[in-house]
Amino acid sequence: MEDTIELAKREFKDNPNLDKAIDLITNTGVKKRHIIQPIELASLHPGFGYRNAIFEYQSKRLVPGVIEEALGHADITAKNISAIIYVSCSGFLMPSLTAWLINKMGFPLDTVQIPISQMGCAAGGAAINRALDFIVAHPDSNVLIVSCEFCSLSYQPTDGDIGSLLSDGLFGDAITAAVVTAHSGNGLELQRNSSYLIPETDEWIRYAVKDTGFHFRLDKRVPGTMKPLAPVMTEFAHAHGWEIDKLDYYIIHAGGPRILDDLCKYLGVQREQFSFSRDTLVNCGNIASSVVFEAYRRMHESSLFKTGGKAIIAGFGPGIVAEMCLSQWR
C-alpha cells in the first residue's frame, strides 16, 4: 500500500482527486498485492500491444505450474481432463490459452475448451457453475478451471478520475486453478447453482476499450448493490432447503470492504464468517475471478471444513451479475 500511495503522489501530484483517492485506497484495507511487473514498470504505458504480449508471455510461463499443482491435489493427470474452463478479463489471446495448454501439457485432443473473458470478477463463480453444468451433462468427467488475472496490465497513467485511482490501489494479479470432478473424494460437493443480474446496472462496472487498452470504469453506486442481491441469495438458499444465515462457510468475492460489510449486514451473518475473503483482500487485493479460489484455498489450509458443512460460493461482477453455488463438504 505504501508503494501504491507513493506512486500516486508522484504521478498525480497535481490531480485535485488525489487526496480523496488516497483516503479511499487506505480504507480498502489492502496492505499487499502481487503484480506481474515491478510497480515502476506497471506505471509506464508502452502500448496495448506490448502489454498484451506481457500477458501472453507471463501466462504461458506461470499457468502450467499452477495447473500441475491443482491436478496433483485432485490426484489425476492431464489425460483425465474432459474440459478446460479458462477465465480472464485482463488480456486477450485467440486462440484461447486452452489450445496452447492442450498442445503443451498433454490434455486429450478432444478436451472441450470453454474460455470466459467478459464477466470480470464474477467469472470465478461462473466457471464453477459451468463446471457443475458440464459434469451433470457429462457424467464421469473431470473439469479443470484456470483463472489468470493480471489486473495491473490495465493500469492507465493518464486516467485521474477517482474510480480509476481507486482501482489502481485495489486490484492485484493472480493465477489459480481447481479441478471439479464427478468422482468421490474430499472437497466441496457442488449441489445447486444460480445466476442473477441486477437490472439497469450494466454501465456500472465496465471497460472503455481504447487504443491504449482497457480503461476500467467503476460507478460510485456499485458498493450499494449488496442490498438488492442479499434477498436473491436468501431465496436461492431457501429453494434448496437451507437458511442463508445459518450456513457454515461463506466463500465470497472480496470486491472491497463495503461489499463484504454490507453483505454481512443484509444476510444477517457475523463479520468473522467472511474472514477468509477479507484476508484475501488484505493480502492480495481484489484479484478478480481468482478471489473465490484463493479464499477457498485459505479456508482449506486452515483445516476449517468439517463433514456435512454447508457453503455458498458467490462471485460478483460486471452486469452487475452474481454467480452463486451451494455446496457441502464431503
- For residue 36, how many other CB atoms are within 10 A of its CB? 23
Q: At CA 322, angle to CA 317 and CA 323, rounded to 5?
A: 105
> φ, ψ for residue 193 (rounded to 5)?
-130, 165
Cis peptide before 318 (omega within 30 of 0): no
Q: What cell does 294 get?
A: 484463493
CA distance 152 to 156: 9
Torsion of CA 217, 219, 223, 228, to 10 degrees: -110
Which residues on neighbouring strands pair with residue 177, listed in sequence order?
A: 146
Active-site residue numbers? 121
Could you tell me if 253 and 125 are in contact, meaning their C-beta atoms sit under 8 angstroms apart? yes
Determine how β-strand 249-252 pairs with β-strand 310-317. parallel
CA distance 83 to 127: 11
CA distance 273 to 275: 6
DSSP per residue over 250-286, as a string? EEE--S-HHHHHHHHHHHT--GGGGHHHHHHHHHH-B
CA distance 212 to 158: 10
Q: Is 323 exposed, middle or buried (0-12, 13-18, 19+ CB in 10 A)?
A: buried
Provide the H-helix boundaries in 81-170: 97-105, 123-137, 162-168
> φ, ψ for residue 301 (rounded to 5)?
-70, -15
